[in-house]
Amino acid sequence: MERNVQISLPIRTALGTLAAVFFLAGCGRTAELESAYSFESRIHSFEEEQKNGFFEPFAADLSVADDSQDDGTELTAGAAAVFGLDGGEALFSRNAFERMNPASTTKVMTAIVALKYGVLSDLVTVTEDAVITEAGSSMAGIKPKDVISLEDLLYGLLIPSGNDAANAIAVHVGGSIEGFVDMMNEEAKRLGATGTHFANANGLTDPDHYTTAYDLYLMFHEALTYEEFRTIIGAGAHTAIYRDGAGTEKTSTWTVGNYYMNGKRETPEGLTVFGGKTGTTQAAGYCLIMGSRTEDGEEFASVIMDADSRDALYEDMTKIITKIVK
């Protein structure tokens, strides 16, 4: 029996936007895009959202990216893009839908889940899960049995990029690291970041842990809806006062590592960098997603993934954010 299915105007609008995204993405990476961005799964998502009464048109305030926005700028990075935070076409896009290791840019999603489901004033007792043994791992310096607020843990997550803070947050908010990772993956699906899968809360290398430059933009866009996230990533430094297991007061001061914010790299004239998240592992190379604001108040998100070195990361980033003010 044939069914006459009527699709409402919001869904038709959303599907039209999706069709444009798929057309612009080109066919050069069809196999990858089919697994990363399932058209059928998005239709199902739209129908479910409308049925449950909270449908919002897809991409209403999101940028659309495709490699026709690549003007040939010489970069070392494996992927790079500049997106308007109020929508429109990307100003620059190269390999924005390629799956890549995200390193500590993962912590943008860790922060989203913590802010969505946690209570900033909660006092968190750090468990043994916070112990990280991987050589060269970035740490906030917390120890098992320390008692610290969730708010301070978020500063320890985003400023010094503490892998120990990520695990402490995960256990507190999700009940376990595994439970929290499930929450991260569900949130990624909700955001339409279907080229993303998380295996941990800190971004350490795992073959089942990946994202794309475009998905990272989707996550950053969402994170910026939380005023607390904006405050934390905009801080040049933060001092946390907490207690160890014996009740002795401890103090940790963390300073921002973003070169544009700590004065090690000059920001292009007419732009202000208001925060971001770096990430580095041997597998991921050097990564950075950050927000910039023009003198007129327009905000942009820019992404570099898999740059060759720290210097190359900032050289590449300067090249692409300069396009905002050209």
Q: In terms of CATH, what superfamily is 103-211+238-259?
A: DD-peptidase/beta-lactamase superfamily (3.40.710.10)
Q: Does the pLDDT of residue 30 top 50, yes or no?
A: no
Taking the C-alpha atoms of residue 165 and residue 167, their distance in angstroms, rounded to an integer, is 5
For the segment 218-246, the average pLDDT, to the nearest whole number, is 98
Highest mean pLDDT among 40-44, 134-138, 202-206: 202-206
pLDDT, position 256? 97
State yes or no: is 137 an active-site residue.
no
Is position 292 annotated as part of the catalytic site?
A: no
User: How far is 271 from 262, CA to CA, in rounded Å?
Assistant: 15
> What are the tens digits of pLDDT across the range 265-313?
999 999 999 999 999 999 999 999 999 999 999 999 999 999 999 999 9
From the list 45, 107, 138, 277, the catalytic residue is 107
Sequence spans of domains, the chain: 1-60, 103-211+238-259
Q: In this predicted model, what pLDDT tens digit does every residue of 103-135 receive, in sequence order?
A: 999 999 999 999 999 999 999 999 999 999 888
Q: Is 302 among the residues known to form the active site?
A: no
**What is the C-alpha separation between 119 and 2, in angstroms, rounded?**
50
pTM over 0.75: yes
pLDDT (0 to 100) of residue 60: 64
Helix (H, G, I), strand (E, B) or coil at 80: strand
* Pair 284, 205: CB distance under 8 Å: yes
Residue 189 predicted with pLDDT over 90? yes
User: Which has the minimum average pLDDT: 49-58, 205-214, 220-229, 294-303?
Assistant: 49-58
Q: Which of 104, 138, 252, 292 is catalytic?
A: 104
**Cα separation values, 86 from 60, 62, 78, 177, 297, Å:** 9, 6, 25, 34, 11
Choice among 93, 161, 252, 302 that is catalytic: 161
**Taking 50 as the threshold, does the pLDDT of residue 29 lie above it?**
no
The predicted pLDDT at position 41 comes to 42
